[in-house]
A and B are shown apart, each in its own frame.
Chain A
């Protein structure tokens, strides 16, 4: 068990809100000297917010930060840099077309007396560092673009270390690495720890937590649930701590109608698209079908492929017939409609009115010989606004003036005016207040009861459990299982999402 040396950094009673959502609620947390600490939690538990606060990118609304017991005032990114706090994110922050040496020295080049770059001096400086502290680094004269992802990751870490690092934050560094590459990374982490550097390690993969961390902190809903020594716990306990909450009355009851239909509204056979590979499943009319798992495991690619945004392979059957979907147009013609997670960029025209936004996809129905019939447009929009209780003065109100929840409703209306047979939603309640969530969930159930197949991709696990009839869970692009009925439990879902074996009884 890790004894816990003197505290290196401590955050106390941190609160942080984004609009109506409280990302961190009175969170306290500390890391000791030469400790490897893992941070786990569901999507939206507040991990990335906490990391951003520790690295000075975000300012907390309330709370204090201590470094070696000393209180830090006006903490910001510059102070964090000076203290030697370095964050390495999942994306590779390097200049592709430059050499390893140039990237390592970017922003702190050595210049000769003539004003030219002194490559010889820079090489000498780096070589001693490489030999003594970081032999894993690729040859200094390689162009970064030509390196594999692991070597690039090493360059990023080396750059963080070369400038004097006391706390290294690794934010999902293994997401893009193979197992062997991960072992190399972990040996680097162990050496850092032996050298006195503390490491904060964020990962979605629980087995890695036990490989590398001394202690593990579980966050849930912006609160510190527990900090455990990895020697004293196991992944089952962590999963239970990360999930295990009551599903509140926020969600509508399951459908009362039992569908007798035998033809699926949509069926996938050997469907591969982007990250998701070889998916076979059937979705029936009247169902709300969820896609869950950790973010970026292939479920987003799956629906984007179904809507013809990115190319796919395999067969898509709609009402039992193979339909080739090679463009957004063909997807819409097949009766598929899509509500994007990024409503402000991919769905709404913010500088136009609610009326124009809602009716945008069906202008051909609202015009005669190419001339708009505004009375029809107004009637249709007013009707939709009333059905969805969009709070605005009139249909002429600009969409940019609306709240997140009302924007999402407009986005939903826009998809529904096309009268789709299949409605796909990506993160349907992101940035939406609780009251509107409630309304949207009800509406989705009504839509499904009208015989439309509703597909929901969400990283909000309780939401999926609350509204879906069936939930497909993805890990690394593969469909790990479909939960229905009594199997719809958060612990089962989280276990599948973390690629653990689950015995499922019906």
Chain B
């Protein structure tokens, strides 16, 4: 396309590394009921042509607010109180004659001046690809609108450019894909479409706010790959916000580490990863690197105490979801969430189940405790007295007995605790439901459990919203061990937590395993967590287990093609070992 060609020619006229956007001493405040919260506190950095700046930090560190401040789209009542955001318009490829440096911080948030810059010069991609695309318009019409709004191009020309853009973000068959609706796209395709839209006016600066967080690892790898290719092609400056150090190592040129709204450290990706200066950066990296290796505590525990006999055996476990038959609709084919899974868990073992979203791993976990009724197969559970029972044939009271021994820890630390109950009521609930009536006994037991999970006992009168995510997850763990279980099924128990908290929670679980002789089924999409915590791993793909084996063996020498693709897509927290380009891709063999 001509446009693209001109664009590339223009871009190459500007030397890579030229500063295009400078943020100086930026402070953004949110007035609260009692005090003012400085969400961004005196932050400075520079975005350069053809370079990627990664802003990294844990949740609540002010990364997103920084990005939003640049475009003046901070949620009310937040506002920029100090600092400059210098945008060097004369240095951009669109640099008009006479255009100079603009201080974006001075522009009113609703002024036409800032509106002209948004999208045209500085574009943004958001985390949630579903909610940032309009569901009632086709992908094409949304991109075309963006092009016409800023460039005033004719309809036909805009459409051609939109197709060109979709092709450049590697959407297959763009001539047809352009007339599809967002719901017809997969998550990764939607994010590609978002990127296409952001690129529609060939911006000089692209801000990506956690664009891959909601995606699976393999999709994430594709998107990261794509973004780097596009940057090489178009030469724009990229500001990439993420909490994942692996992603940072993979794509960053420069890194800004943020914490509590303050800039902690700034430097090249090499320096940050190999010579971190600040303690916090070291800690952050430490947590990531720690997760890269198996837990030493676990290895030591296994060496001391060998695994016992099988505690759970799954035989051909199957779960189909039948779409409800409406009055006027035809019966549809059932969806096979879990299709014939055979697995064995030994006593004292941690079995990891890994897979991408939709692989059926959560359903599998829930079938074992019969939250979902399996539609076929067998679950054999060996009780403490050595007698084996078939869980699927149990009646109500038998099932309740089993559920005392098999407990669950949930993913969402917010949704899994009843907001209307105090911590004491939440943790005491399993005791109450299993016939404990003495309030004093319950209180003492709850205090003991809180102590075990490392929370102060005086917190038991509090409601869950007073706790942070990590603390809530501890409460969830305390609830699950209240009845002295033998098996815990942890469904993505650490996924909602920041990296530094993940190791803490995993160590807590290992600690409890030692004290209470537990076995774990640990469901996760995160290979590093599994490698740290699990002895054995089962890889799930489309409802089936494609590979099982010792964690290290599978991680180092995967046999199945899908496992290879999955493992090679995981970004490594080491900028010297970038490998996205050499990754495997898995295409399901035609049936």
Partners in one complex: no
Could you list which residues of chain A lie within 8 angstroms of chain B, going by C-beta atoms?
none
